[in-house]
Every structure is written in C-alpha cells, then in structure tokens.
Amino acid sequence: MIMYARRLKGISLSRIRKMFEVEGEDIINLGIGEPDFEIPEDSKKAIIDALEEGFTHYTPNKGIPELREAIAKKLKSDNNIKRDPDDIIVTVGASEALYMCAQALIDKKDEVLIPDPGFLSYNACVKLAEGKPIPIPLEGKNFRTNPETIESLIGKNTKAIILNSPSNPTGAVTEKDDIKAIAELAEEKNLIIISDEVYEKIIYEKKHYSPGQFTENAIIINGFSKTYAMTGLRIGYITAPREVIEELLKIHQYNTACAPSISQAAALSALKGPQRVVDHMVAEFRRRRNLMHKRLNNMGIECNKPGGAFYMFPYVGDEAKFTEKALEEGVVVVPGSAFGYNGKDHVRFSYATSYDKIKEAMDRIENITDVIPIG
C-alpha cells in the first residue's frame, strides 16, 4: 500500500476547479475567475517572434533582466515601491509565488493569519508547509480587513499575515488607513506581510494601496493572469527585500527553475505596451458588475457592490440548496464555505463572462428565488 505524506491530511482538491469542470451544452459558468478576453495583440506578436527566434530555452532563474527591469519600473511608478530588479523573481503564476512564500518562511507550528472568507490556496499552502492558518474574520457587509481584529489574533507563534486586496472572493478593496495600520503592526510585532495583489488593476471607484509602500516587512505577489488575461501563460512575480528573495529563490530554483520563456516575452510586451487594453477590460467588468448587482438586489438577494476584482459574494441563506438549484437552472456558482467559515451561506458569482451570458444567468437565477429562503 502506498503511504502518503501526512502533510496531505486535511488538504482537499479545489472546489473552484470542481465547478470549473462542470460542463453542459446550456451551462453558464459563473464559478471561475478567468477573464474572457484575449491577451494583448502586442503580446501575441511577442510570443510569435520569440518562437521564430528560438527563444524557447531556460532563462535566468529570476527571469529575464528586461522583464525584471520593467517590473521594477512598474512597482515604482504605480505602487511607490523601490525595488532593484535583482529583488524580483518572475514566477509560474502568482500561485507559485504564494507556495514559495509558504515553503521558505513557515515552519511547523508557525501561525499565519489569513482572510476569511479568502482565496482557498492560502489555507492549503500554509498547511502544506505544516503551519497553522488562523482565520481573520472579514467584517460587515463590506468585508473589511480590520487592523484591530488582526492585532487581537497575533500570538507568540504568529509568523505572517496574508492580505488580498482587491479580494477574491468578496471584491472588497482595503482602505489606505487600514493597509497602513497593518503595515505598522507588522513592523511593531516583527511579522511579514504576504500581499496578494493580482487584482490590483481591476478596480473601480477606489484606489489600490500596497503595504510595500509603508513597510519593508512586505512580500508583494502580483501577476499577469488577471490584468492581461494571461491565465494559461502562467506568469507572475514576487518582490521582497534582498535577503528574503535569496531564500525564496531556493524554492523557485528547485521547484520550477524558471518561468516559461515565451510567457516572459508576452509579459514584457504587455508591461511596455499601451495600457488601454486594461482600461477597456476594466470598463467592461464595471458594466457587468453593475448589471449583476442591480439584478441580484432586485431579486431581494443581499449583496454589496464590490470595489474591485470580478466577483460578487451575496448572502443566500442556504448555500448548498442555492448552488444545487442554480445548477438545475444551468448556472454554476461556487459555495461560499469553500472560502472559509465566514463564507458560509454565501455564494461566489464571477462576472468574468459576457454581458449577455450574465443577463441570461440572472434570468435563470430569478426562477429559483421563490424556493430559496433569502436573508
């Protein structure tokens, strides 16, 4: 009999991926967080050029210098974070960056504060490193990340705090004062912040603030999947102070060696090219958000209007029944408890699909509200 590692106990396969794989001729899938846009035309050309030039071999472990230089410029101009290109590692998506952090920083019994509800990989990555995830209950209808709540959860074994703004699954955007207060708390308590900022550019009425603006005790994770619709190219990056980067590099080097060469070429082109493609995508996401929010509220489904990302996280009373009935109508959603205890009795809708499909999905959802206890 094969004996599996004990660290896999308590680790489940992603319920998001399970919903992603639901198929059917008439299914509308609102369960997956993947932009339904093409990558920028300049990036397509960059891939073709890279192939024709034979740029298909290993790159430096940290990534090609030109891309790391472009990322450093972006961090300075957009986030007021000054980092040398050598303080940046290009990764196989933000997912690898998160896994690298867990493996490099977390020891057995270390505690890591994670948002609840929050992206399910946070919990899994901490457990795979044999650490202990401690939920941060996000507060109120706006799902606020409250610095006072975080401070109350810090104990002698606390090692790190994971932040995510804009948030998956809630779409909440953390305010500047809260980000700054958490950064000050990290310095006072000598903790590291792991900040997942992959939805940074998908933001509406508010502004994104990074903890890296306010403290050196911050590791910043970002990527190209959401901003430039490059989900399948698996390309992201991580930046931290030099001594942290050198430890993260050990995990990256033995895990993947380097990010895909042609994906790096595409990412470089995206950063250096015109950003109107991003503006166009965000404008369309805003239009879809407004449609979904209006329709859900008209049905009597309690739902806050998200400030960023492309998710809505309404309260539906009985998430299991709602999910089941929605699927009977041909609409896939993700149960809120997949994102933590505080996600219970919510569901996650993604509006990263066409306006017309969202309109049809809302028509179908309207058919089930008379049999679901809402509120």
**Euclidean distance between CA atoms 209 and 80, whole angstroms:** 9
**Euclidean distance between CA atoms 341 and 305, whole angstroms:** 21
Cα–Cα separations (whole angstroms), residue 136 to 111, 139, 340, 342: 12, 9, 10, 9
Q: What is the DSSP letter of 365?
A: H
- For 334, phi then psi, to 5°, come to -110, 130
**Euclidean distance between CA atoms 334 and 349, whole angstroms:** 7
pLDDT of residue 42: 97
Bond from prior residue into 241 cis (ω within 30 degrees of 0): no
Q: Hey, is 215 helix, strand or coil?
A: coil
**Euclidean distance between CA atoms 150 and 98, whole angstroms:** 20
Six-digit token pair at 353?
A: 């699909």
CB atoms within 10 A of CB 184: 15
Six-digit token pair at 210?
A: 């990074």
Contacts of 266 (CB under 8 A, 6+ apart): 39, 43, 44, 46, 47, 224, 230, 233, 235
| Total residue count of the chain as it appears in this document | 375
Cα–Cα separations (whole angstroms), residue 101 to 86, 89, 281, 349: 17, 12, 30, 29
CB atoms within 10 A of CB 120: 21
**Euclidean distance between CA atoms 160 and 240, whole angstroms:** 14
- 218 by Cβ neighbours in 10 Å (0-12 / 13-18 / 19+) ranks as buried
Q: Which secondary structure element, helix H or strand E, spans residue 124, and what is its range?
A: helix 120-128
- 211 by Cβ neighbours in 10 Å (0-12 / 13-18 / 19+) ranks as buried
**Mean pLDDT for each consecutive 10-residue tract of the chain (375 residues)?**
77 62 78 94 98 98 98 97 97 98 96 97 96 96 96 98 98 98 97 98 96 98 97 98 97 97 98 96 98 95 94 94 94 95 96 97 89 55
Cα–Cα separations (whole angstroms), residue 48 to 42, 81, 144, 176, 270: 10, 33, 44, 41, 14
Is the CB of residue 69 less than 8 Å from the CB of residue 263? Answer: no
pLDDT of residue 302: 84
- Nearest Cα to 288, choosing from 43, 53, 88, 28? 28
**Euclidean distance between CA atoms 206 and 210, whole angstroms:** 13
Is the CB of residue 29 less than 8 Å from the CB of residue 19? Answer: yes
- Nearest Cα to 233, choosing from 225, 223, 244, 221? 225
- Nearest Cα to 351, choosing from 302, 290, 303? 290
